[in-house]
Amino acid sequence: MPMFIFLFLLVCYWLSGFGILTLFRIRLKPAYMVTLSLLLGVAVASFVPFGLQLLYITITGPTVFGALVLVALLLNIPSFLRMRHSGLAVFTRPFGGGRFRVRPYEVPYWLVMGFLIFVSVWRCYYLPPTSRDALSGPETIAEYTVREQTMINSFFGLDLWSTNNQFKSPFLISLQVIYKLAGFPFGQVWLSVVFISFTIFLYHVLRERLHPVLAGLLLLLFMMAPEIYAYTFMILYDYSNMVFFCLGLYFLYQGLVGGVGAGPGLGTAAGAGSGGGPAMVSFGGLLLGIATYIRSETLVLVVLFLPVIFWSQWKTVGGGGAGGEGRGASAGAGAPVPVGAPAPVSEGARVPVGAVLKKMALMGLFFLLPSLVGYYLPVQRYINHYLPVHYDIGTLVNNNLSDWHPLLQRYGDIVSKLLFGTFAIHLWGYLFYIASALFVAELVFVRRFSREACFWLYAIVVVYLALGFMGFALPMFNLTETTKRAVFKIVPLLLFYMANNELVLRLSRWIAGWEVKGSKKMAMGTVIGGEKAVAPKVAPASGKRGAAKAGGKAGTGGSGGVGKAGAGGSGGAGSRKKNRKK
Amino acid sequence: MKVFLLTLASCALVLVVLNAGYYKEWFDGKPRQYWFEFLKEKDDPGDEVAIKKSRYGVVYTISMRVKEVVEKKKMPHAIILFEPNSYYRDSLRIYNNIRAPEPAVFYYYTGLEGVWTNSPDVRKANFIVRITKNKGVTLDEIKSPQQLQQILDGFKKYPPIL
């Protein structure tokens, strides 16, 4: 019976997630569609018991599972309406067409990663939650929610002097409630859905940039980060927060580079026919909003990405030059302008400052709004108006903010204790060392960074600076627990940076060129993700991976590169210049 | 042939990672160990309580024993006072082996209300869990407010810690 309900839940997740992707008009490769749908579905489910509680509806099996079905159906209303014209193809088409070919040299990685996944899933299923942070808050609340049919239950009548975990996000409580109601006494298995979906998503992203030998290696290094791996079967907030934060930034970047045309990865294989710029940025904002719902301090990080949006908008619309390059390239390749994307701005066109500012404000608002909601509902609304006990975060703030010595000390400690050194190796393996070595090598030997590499480096620095500041401003944000777990957010960003490191890309191109016999063009400079280099049979231009072929023929840079102008992500400006010379 | 060579390269890279520095130590100590545990667990899954006992250890066992005793005594409103963990650490020096559960965690294990010596509700306590080196774990009834005060006075220099 639990297995049947587990499958039923997966279908609900898939439907809910698909509905959201459809609402944002995002069409991606099937591997992305499936994994993103499931991840979004888990996020939607995590709102359901919480939403019922906000509406004072009793939390029982029928109400929870009924609400899950209802939400899945509501999110798919546009798809149902389209069914009148297209039939069931509305649901099947986005998942068809893509062919995932496993090559023999991917198998060794997948064997080890499969082993790691299997062990993690078993522990998730078989063992009860153990972390003190879960037991002294969300897990106990979930257990008594199932018994008492309300999230505001007898737990809050206890002596809670020793814990503040009762104030943490309802994300964990809700998911635990769902799975306990489904017949899993320890809940938890939702975490395996998140883990597996994210791993597959990440692998496909890396594979679009790199040859599978390198993509597999990077993913293996990520999965073997001991601390992160432990959190794939130990329910807490940080792993899920990392997943949605990383996805949010990924789609933010894709939205900023234009979604269809200029974006690496998504621009071709993944972003086929996707919603493009503003829609993609808003979708990134939604994912970051989910991350904020999971861990409220993520809001600070989200705000710090607003300058990137404003800068990008200014360059695209206001500047009329640099940003227009990508869009022009798309148009040049005959790629369709996505629904919801702004009209292309021809080079040199003047746009009134007011219009630019309005556009910037709107995009910023749509980007930030989900995070504001994700912060307001669980923190401001739920804690202050629903819980019988209150939490005054004001009393937790450092009252000596003018003394910056502890701030500098914290920055130093993060580097010396959490990112490098013996303790750090026990947490993340050698990932930070490898990424740092590649960064220095790129700095010394290449002396420039591609646009995408710059974005990921910016993201890493922003998270680092924000974590240090939060540790300084909130003394309870301690180094070895809270900050350590918050560093999770940096780790996948390291992967994205490494996948855009010019030296790694060159190595990838070299392997791809060597493998594809006689493909001199490829070996010389076509920036091709492993998938395309090894399997030139890519994609039709309608957004179904054909653009890449066109780009490849033109000798353009970037795995997402489309069109004659050679706008391509991975090669960045440098690659484009080289290609033009050629 | 090239695919074969790349496959060999992948195998080599996997082996290098699995045997490199701390990765080897971690892989042998954690995932590999978990695999051996899985082999045992799949053959003898055990019931929910047995799994919890083996996972949560002695604190869970003590908590469940307390629950049993309270149920036997038929005390529907038992509120259990725990000795401070700093007492186990500084006086009995058994903190590494045993510790009192947090009230929230104790509630998760047993459904019973527990309090620490500094709890606002400590005056409601009517049982105390005592852990001694000789007698082991005992559950004593607190019969009067005076007795409770005496107990609390005795623990004044031991603040509750996790």
DSSP string over B62-86: HHHHHHHHHHHHT-TT-EEEE--HH
Q: Which residues pair with B131 in a beta bridge?
A: B137
**Would strands B136-141 and B127-132 be described as parallel, antiparallel, or unpaired?**
antiparallel
CB A78 within 8 A of CB A23: yes
> Which residue in B13, B38, B102 is closest to A163 by CB distance?
B102
Contact across the interface for B2 and A517, Cβ inside 8 Å: yes
The pLDDT assigned to A319 comes to: 58
Task: Provide the chain B residues 11-70 that lie in CB contact (below 8 A) with chain A.
Answer: 11, 13-14, 17-18, 20-23, 26-27, 30-31, 34-35, 38, 41, 45, 48, 51-52, 55-56
The whole-angstrom distance between residue A231's C-alpha and the CA centroid of its chain comes to: 17
The pLDDT score that the predictor gives to residue A318 is 58
Ramachandran class of A346: left when φ > 0, alpha when ψ lies in -120 to 50, beta otherwise: beta
Query: Which backbone phi and psi does B139 adopt, to 5 degrees?
Result: -115, 110
**SS3 of A304-333:** CCHHHHHHHHHHHHHCCCHHHHHHHHHHHC
> Chain B partners of A229 at a C-beta cutoff of 8 Å?
30-31
Tokens 């809940």 belong to which residue? A187
Interface list for A 118-147 with B (CB within 8 A):
119, 122-123, 126-128, 130, 132, 135-137, 139-140, 143
CB B113 within 8 A of CB A156: no
pLDDT tens-digit series, residues A289-307 = 999 999 999 999 999 999 9
B2 Cβ under 8 Å from any chain A Cβ: yes
Separation between Cα atoms, residue A493 and residue A467, nearest integer Å: 15
- Judged by CB atoms closer than 8 Å, whether chains meet at A115 and B35 is answered as yes
User: Can you count the helices (H) and strands (E) in chain B?
Assistant: 8, 4
Q: What is the DSSP string of A241-277?
A: HHHHHHHHHHHHHHHHTTTTTS-TTIIIII-TT--HH
Please give the pLDDT value at position A276: 60
CA distances from residue A306 to A2, A154, A361, A376 in whole angstroms, order as listed: 44, 42, 10, 19
pLDDT at A263 exceeding the cut of 60: no
- Grade residue A123 by pLDDT with cuts at 50, 70 and 90: very high
Give the whole-angstrom CA distance, residue A239 versus residue A10. 20
Are the C-beta atoms of residues B115 and B81 closer than 8 Å to each other? yes
Whether the per-residue pLDDT at A97 is higher than 70: the answer is no
A168 CB neighbours in chain B (<8 A) are: none
d(CA A9, CA A27): 23
- Among A140, A159, A427, pick the best mutation site for testing chain B contact (most B Cβ within 10 A): A159
| Cβ(A245)–Cβ(A489) below 8 Å | yes
Chain B residues with beta carbon closer than 8 angstroms to that of A511: 6
pLDDT digit string (tens) for chain B, length 162 residues: 889 999 999 999 999 999 999 999 999 999 999 999 999 999 888 889 999 999 999 899 999 999 999 998 888 789 999 999 898 888 877 777 788 899 999 999 999 999 999 888 899 999 999 988 777 888 899 999 999 999 999 888 888 888
By the 8 A CB rule, do A229 and A119 touch? no
Residue with tokens 């045993």: B98
Mean pLDDT of A386-407: 84
pLDDT at A532: 43
| Among the partner residues B2, B38, B103, nearest to A159 by beta-carbon distance | B103
Judge whether residue A508 has pLDDT over 50: yes
pLDDT of residue A209: 92
Cβ-defined contact of B34 to A122 (cutoff 8 Å)? yes
Pure H helices in chain B: 2-19, 21-29, 31-43, 48-56, 58-73, 85-87, 103-110, 145-154
Give the phi and the psi of residue A151 in degrees, each rounded to 5: -80, -15
Per-residue pLDDT band for A550 (boundaries 50, 70, 90) equals very low
Residue A217 is nearest to which of B13, B27, B162, comparing CB atoms?
A: B13
- Dihedral sign (CA A177, A182, A184, A185): positive
Q: Is the pLDDT of residue A262 over 60?
A: no
* Residue tagged 């107990």 (tokens): B151
Residue from the list A132, A163, A226 with its beta carbon closest to the beta carbon of B30: A226
Q: Determine, for residues B102 and A139 on separate chains, whether the beta-carbon distance falls below 8 Å.
A: no
**What DSSP element (H or E) covers B131?**
strand B127-132
Contact A262, A569 (CB under 8 A): yes
Chain B residues whose CB is inside 8 A of the A162 CB are: 102-104, 116, 160, 162
Helix A431-441 and helix A502-515: axis angle, to 10°? Answer: 90
B3 → closest Cβ in A104, A123, A165: A104
Tell me how far CA of residue A480 lies from CA of A427, A436, A486, in angstroms: 11, 22, 10
> Which amino acid does the sequence have at A432?
F
- Minimal Cβ distance to B35: which of A119, A136, A230: A119
Any bridge partners for residue B128, and if so which? B81, B140
DSSP-based three-state secondary structure for A151: coil
pLDDT of residue A85: 80
Q: How many CB atoms lie within 10 A of CB A461?
A: 13
The answer to whether the Cβ–Cβ distance between A119 and B119 falls below 8 Å is: no
Put simply, the answer to whether B14 touches A163 (Cβ < 8 Å) is no
Query: Which candidate from A135, A159, A425 shows the least CB-CB separation from B121?
Result: A159
Residue A337 has pLDDT above 70, yes or no: no
A-B contacts at Cβ under 8 angstroms: 139
* Confidence (pLDDT) at A315: 79
Order of strands, sheet of B127-132, starting from the edge strand that comes earlier in the sequence: B113-115, B79-82, B127-132, B136-141
Residue to test with chain A: of B22, B36, B49, most A Cβ within 10 A:
B22
Nearest beta carbon to residue B38 from set A122, A128, A515: A122
Crossing angle of helices A61-75 and A170-181, in 10° steps, is 110
Cβ-Cβ contacts under 8 Å, B110 against chain A: none
pLDDT at A476 over 90: no
Backbone angles phi, psi at A347, to 5 degrees: -60, 135
Q: Which of A359, A367, A493 is nearest to A419 (CA)?
A: A493
Instruction: Identify the weakest region by mean pLDDT among A28-42, A159-173, A519-533.
Output: A519-533
> A447: part of which helix (H) or strand (E)?
none
Contacts of B160 in chain A (CB under 8 A): 161-162
pLDDT for residue A349: 59
- Judged against a pLDDT cut of 50, whether residue A13 lies above it is answered with yes
| Nearest C-alpha neighbor of A530 from the set A158, A26, A101, A200 | A101
Instruction: Name the helix (H) or strand (E) containing A70.
Output: helix A61-75
Residue A435's pLDDT band (boundaries 50, 70, 90)? Answer: very high
Across chain A, what does the average pLDDT equal?
Answer: 82
8 A C-beta contact, residue A237 and residue A486: no
- Cα dihedral A251, A253, A255, A257 sign: negative
- Report the alpha-carbon distance of residue A190 to residue A172 in Å, rounded: 10
pLDDT for res A350: 67
Are A417 and A410 within 8 A, CB to CB?
A: no
Give how far B40 is from chain A: nearest CA, Å: 12
Residue A41 in this model has a pLDDT that exceeds 50 = yes
Question: In chain B, which residue's Cα lies nearest the Cα of A186?
Answer: B48
CB-based contact, A425 to chain B, within 8 Å: yes
Q: What is the pLDDT of residue A215?
A: 96
Stated as kind and residue range, the H or E segment containing A155 is: none
Burial letters for A212-221: b for 16+ Cβ neighbours within 10 Å, e otherwise? Answer: bbbbbbbbbb
> What local confidence, expressed as pLDDT, does residue A341 receive?
40
Does residue A529 have a pLDDT over 60? no
